C-alpha cells in the first residue's frame, strides 16, 4: 500500500533532503523512524520549523533567478530534478528544480529567518516580468492539467502503486525493499480497480472527489479529485474504476450536484505530456 508521498533529493554522498505533505509531517517522521533498522547508521532530523518554502515557477522563472543569484542556472549546470545549496540575494537557500505545477521553476527552501528577505528580492527582480503571487487553488488547477496525483486523494494507504498507475516509479530490479514482494505478487493477480484520468463535460461545477462514476446505471467507481484547467479550458478529474473500464476513450457518467455529466477517460497528462516546459 502507499504509505506516504515524498520527494527525496540527494544533497551529498550521505545526505538526503526529504519533503512530504504538510498535513502528514508527524506521521511520516514516525514512519521513517520506525522503518529504520538497528543495523542502519541513519540519523533522521525534522527541519520543518527551520525552513520556509517559496515556489518560483513560470516561463520567466530563470530570468528572475539570474537577477538574484550568481549560480549557473542553465540546463547543463542545474538540470531538472536536481537540487543545490545556493545563495539568493546573498542569503543561503536550498534550491530544488522541481515543482507541482508543471512549469519551469524552483522550490526554494531557505532558513525561515531569511524567507521574507528572499521573497522581497524575488518580487523586486520579477516586477518587470509581471510576477504575481499564486495560491493553492491555482496549484491544484495546474497539477490537474499535469495529471499529478494528490496525497489523500489518488494516493492513500488503501491503494497500491499499481492501482494508482505508478508502476514506472518502482525499480523492481533493486535488492529487497519494503513492498517489493507484495508488488510482484499483485502483478500476477487480477486487479480490483484502476486509477483513471478523465475530461468531463461539466457545466457550473467541477469534480470535487467522492462522486459516483457510472456506466449506464451501474456504479463502476468513485472520483478522487478534480478541477478546471485554465490552460486547456477543460474540466478534469481522477477516479478509481474497475479495470475493464479504464482504457482511454471509455465513456463514463458522473453525478455532479444531481446532474449526470459525461466524462471520457484520457491518456495523461493533457498539458505538456513530454515535459518540455519543465525542462526548458
Nearest partner of 71 among 56, 52, 55, 91, judged by Cα = 91
H-run or E-run covering 234:
strand 234-241
Domains 6-143 and 144-266 share a fold: no
Where along the chain do its domains lie?
Answer: 6-143, 144-266
Average pLDDT, integer, range 146-160: 96
Please tell me the predicted confidence (pLDDT) of residue 245. Answer: 97
Q: What is the pLDDT of residues 64-102, one digit of tens each?
A: 999 999 999 999 999 999 999 999 999 999 999 999 999
Average pLDDT, integer, range 238-252: 98
CATH code for the structural domain at 6-143: 3.30.1360.120
Pairing of strands 194-200, 259-266: antiparallel
Average pLDDT, integer, range 42-62: 97
Confidence of residue 247 (pLDDT cuts 50, 70, 90): very high
pTM for this one?
0.94
Give the whole-angstrom CA distance, residue 254 versus residue 215: 9
pLDDT-above-90 percentage for the chain: 96
Give the whole-angstrom CA distance, residue 234 versus residue 146: 12
pLDDT-above-70 percentage for the chain: 100
Confidence of residue 268 (pLDDT cuts 50, 70, 90): confident
Provide the β-strand partners of residue 262.
Answer: 253
Average pLDDT, the chain: 96
Average pLDDT, integer, range 22-29: 93
Provide the β-strand partners of residue 199.
Answer: 236, 264
Average pLDDT, integer, range 240-260: 97
C-alpha to C-alpha distances, 206 to 81, 102, 201, nearest whole angstrom: 31, 21, 9
| Domain 144-266 in CATH 3.40.50.620 | no
Confidence of residue 203 (pLDDT cuts 50, 70, 90): confident
Amino acid at each position: 500500500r502507499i504509505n506516504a508521498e515524498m520527494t527525496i533529493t540527494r544533497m551529498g554522498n550521505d545526505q538526503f533532503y526529504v519533503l512530504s505533505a504538510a498535513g502528514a509531517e508527524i506521521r511520516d517522521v514516525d514512519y521513517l523512524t520506525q522503518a529504520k533498522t538497528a543495523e542502519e547508521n541513519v540519523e533522521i532530523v525534522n527541519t520543518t520549523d527551520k525552513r520556509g518554502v517559496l515556489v518560483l515557477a513560470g516561463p520567466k522563472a530563470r530570468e528572475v533567478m539570474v537577477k538574484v543569484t550568481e549560480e549557473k542556472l542553465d540546463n547543463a549546470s542545474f538540470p531538472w530534478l536536481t537540487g543545490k545549496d545556493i545563495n539568493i540575494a546573498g542569503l543561503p537557500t536550498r534550491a530544488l528544480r522541481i515543482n507541482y505545477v508543471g512549469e519551469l521553476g524552483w522550490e526554494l527552501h531557505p532558513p525561515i529567518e531569511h524567507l521574507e528577505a528572499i521573497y522581497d528580492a524575488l518580487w523586486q527582480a520579477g516586477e518587470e516580468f509581471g510576477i504575481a503571487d499564486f495560491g493553492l487553488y491555482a496549484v491544484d488547477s495546474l497539477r490537474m492539467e499535469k495529471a499529478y496525483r494528490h496525497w489523500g486523494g489518488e494516493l492513500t494507504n488503501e491503494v497500491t502503486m499499481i492501482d494508482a498507475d505508478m508502476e514506472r516509479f518502482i525499480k523492481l530490479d533493486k535488492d529487497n525493499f519494503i513492498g517489493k514482494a507484495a508488488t510482484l505478487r499483485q502483478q500476477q493477480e487480477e486487479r480490483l480497480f484502476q486509477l483513471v484520468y478523465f475530461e468531463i463535460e461539466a457545466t457550473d461545477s467541477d469534480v470535487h472527489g467522492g462522486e459516483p462514476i457510472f456506466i449506464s446505471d451501474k456504479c463502476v467507481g468513485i472520483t478522487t479529485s478534480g478541477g478546471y484547467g485554465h490552460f486547456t479550458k477543460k474540466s478534469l478529474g481522477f477516479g478509481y474504476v474497475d479495470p475493464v473500464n479504464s482504457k482511454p476513450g471509455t465513456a463514463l457518467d458522473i453525478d455532479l450536484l444531481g446532474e449526470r455529466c459525461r466524462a471520457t477517460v484520457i491518456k495523461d497528462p493533457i498539458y505538456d505530456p513530454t515535459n518540455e516546459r519543465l525542462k526548458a
